[in-house]
Amino acid sequence: MSARRKLPLVAICGRPNVGKSTLFNRIAGRQTAIIHGQEGITRDRTYASATWGSHPFRVVDTGGIVENPLDPITQKMQDQVWQALEEARVIIFVVDGQTEITRQDEQIRDELFKYGKPVVLAVNKLDNSALEMNRYDFFRMGMGEPYAISSSHNMGIETLMDAVMEHVPALEEMPEEVERLITKVAVVGKPNVGKSSFVNAILNEERTIVTDIPGTTRDAIDIEFRWKDKEYLLIDTAGLRRKARIDEDVERFSVSRSLRAINRADVALVLIDAVEGISEQDKRIFNYINERGTGMVIVWTKWDLVEDKEGRFKSLADDMDFKAPFLKYVPCITISNVTRLRLFKTLELIDRITESAKKRVGTAELNRFVEEISTQYAPPTRRGKPARIYYMTQASVQPTVFVLFANNKALVHWSYLRYIENKLRDRFGFEGIPLRIEVRDDRVDKK
């Protein structure tokens, strides 16, 4: 383990649709937050790591602050904003430079003053020198220098960030802490199966917004979490709908982020409503994870709503065998976010699968294995030509890939590869890990 620094947090806040997420992406150096002209796209807190000069830090994007929240989602969005501001070391307050100062801007200013933290005023959407003059109107806010920026055109960002960094310590001034390996866990599934509720129950706080409305979560939210001296990055994702039912640009972005979360995760938790059972969309999610080689756990949620638990568990197991027989290597667990039943057993499964994902088998051991299984069950003959397996090696982990060298790869039938995969799992484990076996020709005469 090596030393790392505990990074200070820079929070971005303001009214809806003033360009907070665009500024967040500009600071983070990549498109981490979803950007759209529709108001209220950002709902949960979105974090990223960034560096400005000699100042590493974290930055958090927040939802738009509104005066009178009229619905449960908007109310919970406001709670998320205030929690982010509590955590922050310095705050960037973003206003729209193409409009007059609003009463809401002034109310937000008054609330920010109560935190007693440094606040830097960013006057956004000033895309040219004529519009830049509008910044002088914002001296009336009484917050010191108003910094003229255009997040979308990357104008004025350097001056703004120099001002922000006056309140952020340089790297050598930060306290050190021990760095641990972080296990990245994507929490995926259809809408309304309890993904955000699962994350909140694990953390024992409302870290992501939860309602009964499907599609509440729009972005993939990264949340750092520690349990039993181990570090995890929980990635709460938007619900994965069928393509035919995706009819909004925002939702397309959300689905794209969810699939990207699977790609970067060590383990994917596939949450399925235990009352409803497996759907065609769940099978598509299984296939996507399997193809990417990501470790997997199937989590049956809402177990508190199941009456005949023994009978239902058997029914679900039979359903898995029928609809997804290729997933026999994937462990299943039943949980309840409401009663917190077996929540932390899920983390134990994640730890086991993470270890499986890192497993390497030496070439000498694999060659003994190949010789043994070939003796037990020789490769089949095709059109009178026998297939010969010469040797095997493990090419990579995460994804776990084995390479099999044969006299002619066309002679090695897929059923024999399935036999080899099953024997690999019997011998070496690989719980929850998709295995890929590639066959290559080695036509040198081995007799």
Query: How do residues 170-226 score in pLDDT, each as one tens digit?
Result: 876 665 554 457 899 999 988 888 888 898 899 887 654 434 444 444 455 778 888
Q: Is residue 407 part of a domain?
A: yes
Together in a domain, 29 and 159: yes
Together in a domain, 322 and 295: yes
CA dihedral angle for residue 86, residue 87, residue 93, residue 94, rounded to 10 degrees = -120
Tens digits of residue pLDDT in 408-420: 888 888 899 999 9
Together in a domain, 274 and 348: yes
Domain that holds residue 309: 180-357
Q: What is the pLDDT of residue 386?
A: 84
Q: What is the pLDDT of residue 173?
A: 67
CATH number for the domain harbouring residue 400: 3.30.300.20
- Are 26 and 94 contacting, i.e. CB atoms less than 8 angstroms apart? no
Together in a domain, 91 and 161: yes
CA distances to 103, 273, 298, 385, 397 from 192, in Å = 37, 9, 16, 54, 33
Quote the number of domains for the chain.
Answer: 3
Question: Looking at beta carbons, which pairs linking 383-392 to residues 24 or more positions away fall under 8 Å?
Answer: 385/411, 386/411, 387/411, 387/412, 387/413, 387/416, 388/446, 390/442, 390/446, 391/363, 391/366, 391/367, 392/363, 392/366, 392/367
Together in a domain, 191 and 232: yes
Q: Is residue 447 part of a domain?
A: no
Together in a domain, 146 and 200: no
Together in a domain, 368 and 222: no
How many Cβ atoms sit within 10 Å of the Cβ of residue 139?
12
Helix (H, G, I), strand (E, B) or coil at 306: coil
Together in a domain, 289 and 232: yes
Low-confidence ranges of the chain (pLDDT < 70): 1-6, 30-45, 69-74, 76, 172-180, 206-220, 239-258, 443-447
Query: What percent of the residues of the chain are helix, what percent strand, and what percent coil, each to the nearest 5?
Result: 40, 25, 35
Q: What DSSP letter does each residue of 268-292 carry, written as one string? A: EEEEEETTT---HHHHHHHHHHHHH
Mean per-residue pLDDT over the chain, rounded: 84
Q: What is the pLDDT of residue 42?
A: 45
Q: Is the pTM of this model over 0.75?
A: no
CATH number for the domain harbouring residue 263: 3.40.50.300
